[in-house]
């Protein structure tokens, strides 16, 4: 899936001797994951490239019994072992009361651009990332992942992407880590239903529950992206 390059790809290959390939079905999407297993610690996570350059799907391993389960939802050490180094400084949390709530498509411009590690705490949502890096081979293309408490799927979305989601169940929670603080002067958005992007939200756009700000966002063709592609970063 997708394209490969960079330190992250080379680091993934370094795990070849103790890696196992498997197929995991997530909703209606079939994803092939590389299972990275650290024997000394007994923890693993499944990581795969998506159809958009530099966006990764991540699933931490869960250890369960009759009481429930335990997992490391994020480990800086695990990420660094496969060439992913981020200094996350802020965790964001929101809840949407109604299914069909759309938040996005948002970005934070340099010098306060944000890498995000996104997961669902409760309910179910469709998470979206759109490449807006000028010169990127996947500029204007989007990828999605259905997330829920049950499936544990996460998306790692680096600088230079629009981000948004739609809730598929009431009272859905989204939680995401950021590697820079919120900076309102750098906040921006593009229309969620932009025809040039063509995201399939899985709902009728006319029935989407939106903020006034998101409803008034510009289209991609009228938007001068502050991001420039400088080669594969993951």
Residues 221, 196 contacting (CB under 8 angstroms): yes
Residue 169: how many CB atoms within 10 A of its CB?
16
Catalytic residue among 139, 159, 163, 176: 176
Identify whether 181 is a catalytic site residue: no
Strands 43-49 and 90-96: unpaired
The dihedral through the CA atoms of 177, 64, 56, 39 has a sign that is positive
Give the DSSP letter string of 55-122. -EEEEE--EEETTEEE--S--HHHHHHTT------EEEEEEESSTTBEEEEEEE-TTS---EEEEEEE
Catalytic residue among 106, 159, 163, 229: 106
Tokens matching residue 124: 């179910």
Alpha helical stretches, state H, 46-136? 76-81
DSSP H or E segment with residue 6: helix 6-14
ω before 101 within 30° of 0 (cis)? no
Query: What is the Cα 57 distance to its own chain's centre?
Result: 7
Query: What is the Cα 29 distance to its own chain's centre?
Result: 15
Tokens matching residue 120: 């669902």
The residues that are catalytic are: 106, 176
């Amino acid at each position: 899936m997708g394209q490969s390059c960079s330190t992250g790809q080379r680091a993934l290959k370094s795990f070849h001797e103790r890696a196992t390939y498997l197929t995991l079905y997530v909703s209606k999407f079939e994803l092939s994951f590389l299972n990275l297993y650290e024997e000394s610690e007994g923890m693993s996570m499944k990581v795969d490239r998506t159809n958009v350059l530099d966006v990764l799907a991540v699933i931490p391993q869960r250890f369960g019994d009759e009481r429930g389960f335990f997992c490391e939802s994020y480990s800086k050490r695990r990420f660094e072992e496969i060439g992913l180094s981020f200094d996350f400084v802020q965790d964001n949390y929101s809840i949407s009361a109604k299914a069909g709530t759309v938040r996005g498509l948002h970005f934070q411009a340099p010098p306060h651009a944000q890498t995000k590690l996104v997961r669902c705490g409760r309910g179910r949502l469709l998470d979206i990332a759109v490449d807006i890096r000028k010169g990127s081979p996947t500029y204007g293309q989007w990828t999605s992942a259905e997330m829920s408490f049950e499936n544990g799927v996460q998306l790692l979305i680096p600088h230079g992407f629009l981000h948004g989601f739609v809730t598929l169940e009431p009272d859905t929670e989204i939680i995401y880590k950021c590697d820079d603080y919120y900076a309102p002067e750098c906040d921006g958005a593009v229309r969620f239903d932009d025809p040039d992007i063509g995201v399939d939200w899985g709902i009728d756009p006319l029935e989407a529950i939106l903020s006034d700000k998101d409803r008034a966002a510009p289209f991609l063709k009228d938007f001068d992206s502050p991001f420039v592609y400088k080669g594969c970063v993951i």
